[in-house]
Amino acid sequence: MLHDFGRCFSGSADLFADGGRSPGASINLITAHDGFTLLDLVSYDHKHNEANGEGGRDGESHNRSWNCGVEGPSDDPQILALRARQRRNLLATMFLSQGVPMLLGGDELGRTQLGNNNGYCQDSELSWYDWDEVDEEMLDFTRRLVQLRGDHAVFRRPDWFRPAERTADGELQDVEWCTPAGIPMQAEHWHTDGAAAIAVYLSGRDLLDEQGRAIADDDFYVTLNATATPLDFTLPDGKLVGEWEVVFDTAAIHPFAARGRRHYRSVEVLTLEPRSMVVLRHLAPEKR
């Protein structure tokens, strides 16, 4: 899990850098026109393609989906809350990764095909957009993610990250992968069985824009807890004087509502709720 996330978040340098291509050569997606919609991805363990007339034999059977405890529609508030959180986690991971995000139309609206993952043959309500059932909260969250990515070049670098090492004086580099304890990750951490938590520091210094001109942005710390229990994350140390501001927390119904209200200092502990993602922006003294 961690290795796949690292490749996505850093723009797949292992695949494209040697060929002279940029992070923009990597396309990041969660869902596509073939397969589950995003809502169905967190609502079904199995495809339900009976309406296609092929006895359920069509469509991909290996979907990497999870129904969060109930197959299909549910009126259980806890199930619905978990599904919404998982959708926010997936959208945030995609939009804040290096490379080009590809959003399947309707995922931001909560579109469902009732578990049908091969709807090419369905010119029916199963595949149509239901404009009377728009998930306004998910739509708002998606809009804010798009704006965050557009406002901060650190999430859409035109060049590759430099080596993830600290300088002699302890200054953090372009990117640093950390364990929840704030310890720089070693090779063995990437291959730990069952590893489901990670943090990544992204430096906004010495960036280039699309024309190759030097620009500066904020520093960010992205924390992810995919476990089923709360987990403490220690914020990074180094030469980062100032505080960390919570930008969004996917455990909240209104994830961006915490922006500007929750601040932490370096080496302080931030507790992430189960299966959640918190993104923090560094506030240097002059920005506070």
pLDDT tens-digit profile of 99-140?
999 999 999 999 999 999 999 999 999 999 999 999 999 999
Residue type, 139: L
161-287: CATH superfamily? Golgi alpha-mannosidase II (2.60.40.1180)
Rounded mean pLDDT of 206-223? Answer: 85
What pLDDT is attached to residue 1?
46
Q: What is the pLDDT of residues 145-191, one digit of tens each?
A: 999 999 999 999 888 887 555 555 555 578 888 999 988 888 888 87
Domain ranges of the chain: 2-151, 161-287
Q: Is the pLDDT at 209 greater than 50, yes or no? A: yes
What pLDDT is attached to residue 23?
85
- The C-alpha atoms of residue 65 and residue 43 are separated, in whole angstroms, by 8
Q: What is the pTM of this model?
A: 0.90
